[in-house]
Amino acid sequence: MNIVVQKYGGSSVSDAERMKNVAKKIQSKVLKGFKVLAVVSAMGDTTNRLIKLANEIVQRPEPRELDMLLTTGEQISASLLAMVLNEMGINARSVNAFQLKIITTSDFTEAQIKNVNREYIYQSLEKYDVLVVTGFQGITEEGDLTTLGRGGSDTSAVALAAYLKAPCEIYSNFPGIYTVDPKLYPQAKKLKYVTHDEMLEMAALGAKVLHPRSVEIAKKYNVTIYCASSFSDEEGSYVVSAYENYLEEPTVTGLSADDNQIQVTILNLPTDFLLVNKVFEVAAENNLNIDMISMINDHDKVNVSFSIVESGLENVDKVFNGFLKNVDGTKINYKNGLVKISIVGVGMRKARGVASRFFKAMENIPITLVTTSEIKISCLVPTEYKNRAVNILAKEFNL
């Protein structure tokens, strides 16, 4: 049995015409001899509208009940798409997380998949050519409905592909994966291949084609992901484990720009390792998403800087002012209006002089923080320098 998992995002099924277009794509796969698991998101902005509705009715929606509400969006998409397929003569059936036994943790609104009932899938595919699956959702051991958080339909699709050892195709309004967001740099090249490691970095750094959680699963279970457009037959991009089977590693594969960054600096901390370590413990305990980190010794004091996204500023201020109120002489400074510019490439592991080229190209742009890994260089720059930095680095690294 040749099985393929396909995922169609909300924009792909946002109205009747687009849903019929998706059905034709699925039909073409069936005619080639494949059994298809078509994972669908809610239509258009349905999820956002449901969240807005919940917030209009109550101040703080209870997470379990919010998940109960949000899972209705994908059920509408799945049932409608199954109707279209059956009318076209394709033997299809819509199924939800309860029927597939997509077992998750009980972390409502951010659940993680623990298991999937493969036997039910195989048995169903003996009867049907297409199973239209509700993405973004699962159930707990106790039978409560859960959702998988942002990008959850990507996660659903890749997890199903991993359990079934099947290829995974992600269809959206993007025709593939680009070296740079074409909206920022219209001359950006479309990548034919990108590795899981590179895609993980690019997704975490702001690339919007795939969610990081889905790429983590793909890497762990060696799932090849094909990303293409729902609206054309243009060849897309492949996310693979390594370049060795395809071509040489490019030095730099992609560039991203992540907006709304703030640099937080805690000044005059005592040079006490336990206290400095406690800064990050407190951040973790309060679910603060700290990113780029720098520590500078100044005589008998330490200045700790890190970046956060702007939406987390209120929590950071509350948490650290409370934590530091009994530490004499400390002060917290905030620098906003920043953007994180990053280059990514597995070829950086072997290539020499990449950092030199990066900083030489950026020599006339003020940089406030820098962080690196063996396949990434990131820096914070003022937002007004964003377009200039993107253009300079895209040209420097032939992106």
Tell me the residue ranges of DSSP E strands in 14-129.
35-40, 92-95, 103-104, 113-115
Cα(211)–Cα(202) distance, integer angstroms? 10
Amino acid letter, 187: Q
> Is 290 in a helix, a strand, or coil?
coil
- Provide the b/e sequence for 299-326 (b: ≥16 CB within 10 Å): eeebbbbbbbeeebeeebeebbeebbee
- Provide the b/e sequence for 62-78 (b: ≥16 CB within 10 Å): ebeebbebbbebbbbbb
State phi, psi for 191 to the nearest 5 degrees. Answer: -85, 135
Give me Rg for the CA atoms of the chain: 23
7 assigned binding-site residue: yes
8 assigned binding-site residue: yes
Amino acid letter, 331: K
Which residue, 192, 247, 243, 221, is CA-closest to 5? 221
> Is 184 in a helix, a strand, or coil?
coil
93: tokens are 């059936």
208 assigned binding-site residue: yes
209 assigned binding-site residue: yes
119 assigned binding-site residue: no
Contact 156, 133 (CB under 8 A): yes
9 assigned binding-site residue: yes
Q: Which residues, in sequence order, are bridge partners of residue 251?
A: none
89 assigned binding-site residue: no
Instruction: Name the binding residues.
Output: 7-10, 47, 74, 178, 208-209
Annotated binding site for ATP: 7-10, 178, 208-209
- The annotation places the binding site for substrate at 47, 74
